[in-house]
Chains A and B, each alone.
Chain A
Amino acid sequence: MKIGVGAPAIGLPGEGLSHFLAKYWFIFLLGLQNAFIYRWNLLIRASFSLLNLAVAVILWMAAFRGQTEIGGYGMEQTISYFIVLMFFNYAISAFTEDYQIATDIRMGTINQFLLKPMNYLGYRMTTFFASRFVSVLAVIAPIGVSLLFLSAYFYLPDESWRWTLVLVTGTMAAMLQFLFAYCFGLLAFWFLEIRGLVIFSLAVETFLSGQIFPLDLLPASLYRISQFLPFYYQMYFPVAIFSGRLSLHEALPGVVFQAAWVLALFGISQILWRFGLRQHTAVGG
């Protein structure tokens, strides 16, 4: 069976902008509804991540005993880093998108997107942003609880450029997160089971995106290498800007790098999609 290559990336020929926006607005609403189904699971998980935060806080407070700074940063900045990290984890991480996409391919539910005037990447990205919107709501309460204990160690940046750059780099980091998951999901065109691969990359990602410790504590040469990898830009970068670990001078070139990685991953996703569809046998659906 010959299948088309799906709709073009943005809109359809002859499709008006308002029509296009309305379409994605509906998908966004649909994504919200879907995400709300799992609100309790999400809340439980968000509350459990308070324990992760506690592990980091206890560990670093112990490290700071008899020490005023580690790697040039005080305890406030280090603890703030982990609180901001927890927020960003819920605001931009792709949790299950890779599995959902892989399931669509394996079960054949992806076939309906091939037959409709709907771009699969556009659809997935829209529902991704919708579900992140819901998970941010879920993490507000745990963050509030953590601030009850840690408000003395939490600081908000007062430079306005930090807020602007966090918005820009945070959005691009979310796109990187999504595109990573999307590419991994598309591997299901070739492999039946992607779980092992996903978890393996998760371990590497978690470390190289600064979720275990702030990356600038690495030896200088390793830190330099990590700045060339995409993982740096999918979590550490916005968090480090927000918690004051990067100066404007250091951050600006990073924005260019980050944008380049977004484009590169978008390109890779398009290639995977094109070749993947040739493999696709449209079973089930």
Chain B
Amino acid sequence: MNLKQYLKIWVASMRYSIVRTMMFRFDFLVWLAVDFVWMMVNILLIEVIFSHVDNLAGWGKYEMLVLIGTAMIISRIFDFFFMGNLLELGGKIRLGEFDFTIIQPGNPLFMVSTRKVDLEGLPNAFVGLGVVIYSMGKLGLEPHVGQIFLYALMLICGILVHFGVLLTIASASFWIVSTEGTENGYFNLFQFSRLPRSAFKGVFNFLLVYFLPVVIISNLPARTLIDGINWIHMLWLTTATGLWFFFACSLFSYGSRRYTSASS
């Protein structure tokens, strides 16, 4: 299949997902509201902390909100395109439903990660964007086009890192068939994206800032908006993204060779 055909399949499955979501409109609204409440709770946490202190590891209140808004945009766009698909992957491998993916005439990773989109994610990505824009206004920042362009590029890196980490966790199911619930680790891990990099010390600094790029995916774009362009940051983020994405894809294709199906 060529690129055009892949795109056509993706668009078709998006259209199907949207039609399906619109059949369960009330459900859709409930999930939207739930997610919105969670986001507000996170913002409230910042409000509460800053009602008692004036900075968090050197970050001011509105700088923190730029950070949190950025983390929200990344995770919501990832939710929209990929999260549901990758969360289902582990179960598919365990139950033998992965059969239906590998018999399709396309790249299995593409097929499995674009089967559907979750519409709930998208509106709240705009809420995140709203938080960022509002906080930038409060900080009196007016980023130029280059900053915005690099910021957008860094957001894409963030989405790819989410993809890589969750795919790595899901691919573990090729080896550990009996264990459910490892996917939840993904949610625990990316909570660190909402914290400023300067708050990390010692072993956490090594693990979560340098080894797993869960902290830098939000911190570096936020600093790009606040402080201006830093090419070393850009290089760091793109390299880390490339390495993780490549590692995850290799693990997936190596694991899928071990796949033995089940119960059929």
Q: Which residues of A come within 8 Å of B, CB atoms?
A: 40-41, 44-45, 48-49, 51-52, 54-55, 58-59, 61-63, 65, 67, 70-71, 193, 196-197, 199-200, 203-204, 206-207, 212-213, 217-219
Contact = CB atoms under 8 A, between A and B. Distances in A.
B184 A48 contact: yes
A217 B52 contact: yes
A16 B191 CA distance: 53
Contacts, number: 88
A212 B45 contact: yes
29 contacts: A41-B180, A44-B181, A44-B182, A44-B185, A45-B181, A48-B188, A51-B185, A51-B191, A52-B191, A58-B200, A58-B204, A62-B56, A63-B49, A63-B52, A63-B56, A65-B57, A70-B52, A196-B27, A196-B34, A199-B31, A199-B34, A200-B37, A203-B38, A203-B41, A204-B37, A207-B41, A212-B41, A217-B51, A217-B52
B188 to A, nearest CB: 4
Q: Which 9 A-B pairs have the closest CB atoms?
A: A196-B30, A62-B199, A51-B188, A62-B57, A203-B37, A70-B52, A41-B181, A55-B191, A48-B188
A197 B41 contact: no
B179 A54 contact: no
Contacts of B189: 51
A246 to B, nearest CB: 18
Contact of A41 (B30, B179, B194): B179
Nearest to A61: B199
Nearest to B200: A58
Contacts of B182: 44
Given A70-B52, A203-B41, A40 B179 contact: yes
Contacts of B30: 196-197, 200
Contacts of A54: 192, 204
A88 to B, nearest CB: 18
Contact of A63 (B44, B53, B180, B204): B53
Interface residues of B, number: 35
A162 B53 CA distance: 29
A67 B37 CA distance: 30
Given A213-B48, A213-B49, A217-B48, A58 B195 contact: yes
Given A51-B192, A199-B31, A200-B34, 7 more contacts: A41-B180, A48-B188, A58-B195, A58-B200, A67-B52, A193-B27, A196-B30
B188 A49 contact: yes
B188 A58 contact: no
B33 interface: yes
B196 interface: yes
Interface string B132-153: 0000000000000000000000
Of listed A40, A62, A197, A218, residue having the most chain B CB within 10 A: A62
A55 B68 CA distance: 14
B49 A44 contact: no
B166 to A, nearest CB: 14
A38 to B, nearest CB: 9
Nearest to A49: B188
Nearest to A69: B52
Contacts of B195: 55, 58-59, 62
A206 B41 contact: yes
Nearest to B215: A58
